[in-house]
Amino acid sequence: MGKKKYQGKVAWITGGGSGIGEAIALELARQGARVAVSGRRIEKLEETVARIQAVGGKGLAVVCDVTDEQQIIDAVDQVVTEWGRLDVALANAGFGVGGPIEKLDADDWRRQFDTNVVGLAITVKHALPELKKVGGRVALMGSVAGTITAPGTIAYNASKFAVRGIGLTLAIELVGTGVSCTTIQPGFVESEIGQVDNQGQFRSDWKDTRPKMIMWSAERAAKVCVDAIWEREREFTFTGHGKLGAFLGKHTPGVVYHAFAGAKRVQSLLGK
């Protein structure tokens, strides 16, 4: 067996206790990395670390709420103190605030942006000094919702459009530093996002209503994400429907508008 891609590397993942973050942590461990996972729920982080160890890797649970800058600073320090370096930082922590604009108040908007945008940016800010020492890799977890819009997800769409803007700008800012930035834009992937309310709290009694037929497993998604980060791709969109949605959002926004507008008109005529 040849050398594993990430052998000797150290990775840190926010939102690493579940879903795609956890799956990427496990895939990185399989490929030789030592992996630190952060989040707010210590029990979920410890479960992820146990799974990392079960595949022969080394893991570290680091409690961190990305809306608290000091906790981000402390998390980076803890990882570097434990393992001496940082090669990969994946800003993955995020959730979705749902509802049309009339039903969202200022706190909903602030909560959405504090996690998905500000928390992501500050995660990168404090990881960069260590990444620059080793020519490392930054990865941002965006979404196809950052290129194609849909009614009822206005705050989430806005936050993921912002993530895409941060990622593409950061890729330019990092030229010459040895650090790359990969903005990841998934379509539907298995995760807890459909069971998190507008306050960012996990609701085990909620059913994920996203379409199962076209949803990728987190494990399948993790494999392609880890490869894209290794290859230092600037922007990586995946799942077939995700690529189609991103293409339509970028190149034919008028088609997207008329499709949703037409559907709303039909609903109105049916009295829904």
So what's the pLDDT on residue 209? 67
In this structure, is residue 222 part of a structural domain? Answer: yes
Residues annotated as catalytic are 156
Give residue 99's pLDDT: 94
- Better-predicted residue by pLDDT, 243 or 3: 243
Q: Residue 259's pLDDT band (boundaries 50, 70, 90)?
A: confident
Give the model confidence (pLDDT) of 49-91 as tens digits: 999 999 999 999 999 999 999 999 999 999 999 999 999 999 9
What does the DSSP assignment read for 75-126?
HHHHHHHHHS---EEEE-------B-GGG--HHHHHHHHIIIIIIHHHHHHH
Give the chain's mean pLDDT: 92
Q: For residue 3, tell me if it sits in a domain.
A: no
Inside any domain, residue 154: yes
As a whole-number percent, the residues of the chain with pLDDT over 70 amount to 91
Answer yes or no: is 105 within a domain.
Answer: yes
Tell me: pLDDT of 271 over 70: no
Does the structure show a pLDDT above 90 at 3? no
Q: What is the pLDDT of residue 190?
A: 82
Higher pLDDT pick, 240 / 12 = 12
Name the region of 220 (left: φ>0; alpha: ψ -120 to 50; beta: rest): alpha
Two tokens at 155?
């705050």
Token pair of 56, please?
Answer: 């022969």
Residue, of 147 and 215, whose pLDDT is higher: 147
Question: Band of the pLDDT at 206, cuts 50, 70, 90?
Answer: low
pLDDT higher than threshold 90 for residue 215: no
Give per-residue pLDDT as tens, 158-179.
999 999 999 999 999 999 999 9
List Cα–Cα distances, 262 to 37, 206, 241, in angstroms. 44, 30, 21
Q: Which residues contact 178 (CB under 8 A, 6 or more apart)?
A: 132, 134, 135, 136
**Count of domains forming the chain:** 1
Q: Which of 15-24, 120-129, 204-213 has the lowest mean pLDDT?
A: 204-213
Length of the chain: 272
Do the domain assignments include residue 1? no
Residue 17 located in a structural domain: yes
Looking up residue 91, the CATH number of its domain turns out to be 3.40.50.720
Task: Tell me, yes or no, whether 109 lies in a domain.
Answer: yes
Residue 4 lies in a domain: no
* pLDDT value at 194 more than 60: no
Q: What is the average pLDDT across 111-118?
A: 98
Paired sense of beta strands 88-91 and 34-39, if any:
unpaired
Kind of pairing between the strands at 88-91 and 58-63:
unpaired
Q: Is the pLDDT of residue 92 over 80?
A: yes
Mean of pLDDT values over 196-200: 67
Q: Which domain holds residue 40?
A: 10-269
Does residue 127 surpass a pLDDT of 80?
Answer: yes
196 pLDDT band, cuts 50/70/90, is low
